[in-house]
Structure 1
Amino acid sequence: LSYVFCFIRHIAGLNNGPFLIREQLKLVKGLGPKSFQQCAGFIRINPETVRRCASGLTSSNGEFCLQMQKTAGKKKVKGSGSTSNQFNPLDQTCIHPESYSIALRFLSQIAGSLDQMGSAALRQSIESSVKSRGLEVLAKSLDTTPETLQLIVDGLTQPPDISTDNLDDFKREIVSMNDLHDGMVLTGRVTNTALFGAFVDIGVGRSGLIPKRFITLEKLPVDQRRRSLALGPGERVEVQVMNVDLQRNRITLDLIRVLK
């Protein structure tokens, strides 16, 4: 966990601008193949960033977007050849790049496609396949583990939109970490999920973490209890502040319930 936080802090401190694909992480100076392998699944590409850069919108990051589009397919990365400059919808999910080929084979098995990600139709196809054949049998046919396949299922069925711009989710009088106190109940949106918990934007400029031990089955809707990560980006949640560490700039939250 501490390694992941150090990795994220390292990237944030390098002023790299918005990434359009996960492969571009390999272009960050000082981040080798091992770092990419360990942390790529944690970094999600915001589809809004991709849309803005792909459409050529001018902004403070417009020049960077253009540069990344031009160089992503040209720069060589030690031990991994060159990066690809193609936008990949799987980069917006919890699926690790090492499992992309498995995800594509799974989609082929159920006659699905990447442009169906997060749709009701794909969810129905996946649920039907899992129900008829069983997760373990499907995993064996794809030469992977049931745990990995469940993570792939989660990634393919969760809506990829991770926008958290709706200010109605936040209390107007709570604008910074200094306004928080233990026991406070707030609403927010999940910004990212990992095996150790979920990060939630509560409107104070810093996402709080709901540790995995606080994401229990009784707090989840029935249709989410089989997910490997339980919560997905963009979901509205009600949380309680458990601890505010101003010195380390960390907020620990407890999940109360998932809001519709």
Structure 2
Amino acid sequence: PKAFEQAAGFLRIVDGSNPLDSSAVHPEAYPVIDSIVSRTDVAVNDLIGNTDLLRKLNPEDFVSDNFGIPTVKDILKELDKPGRDPRPEFKTAAFKEGVETMADLKPGMILEGVVSNVANFGAFVDVGVHQDGLVHISALTNKFISDPREVVKAGDIVKVKVLEVDVDRKRISFTMRLDDTPAPQSKGPKGSGKPQNKGGSNRNQKGQQGRQSAPANAAMGNAFADAFAKAKKN
């Protein structure tokens, strides 16, 4: 049946009559292995895991109208390491021990993280503190790029340097240019109070000076009025 043909490559029969039934080799490709057995004069059981012998075989020698070089190479790989996972190795970021929250981040830290999302203005990176940080497009690389996707994509493992951390606003700024220097941090805690208004302070001082000088101006005005009245009488 067609369903069996499609599923046969995924089925595994352990301790069956044919040792190939426990491998990823599709039953339709068994003739290729029969050719290998015939040419090498080595039994199937002895072929499986025989790396030295399998590496000496030339895949082109077993190509036919039904099976090309890619298929033959896959068969040889399966015979070499039966039951192998054909998927590529899955890599994960090695989060730094002791860095678990935003409060643990310090400017200048170099961390490993994974790109969680890419936008037109930069890439967001997860370093294991439950809040992704932003690498601005200008900080992704030393060369000019018009799209962050030229450099990174979601799932990439990258190294970043912490530039700035704002716990109150839940914002983290990273750079992938590891020679960048973080900007000096202000000594006062962020969000602890309203910033001083120097302009307002100056205006208050001027107002106080104005109020202090008002009586003096009034006295001077009275003196001129008295002098003018006396001159008029004379």
> TM (normalized to structure 2)?
0.34
Structure number with bigger Rg: 2
Structure with more contact order per residue of length (Cα contacts < 8 Å, sep ≥ 6)? 1
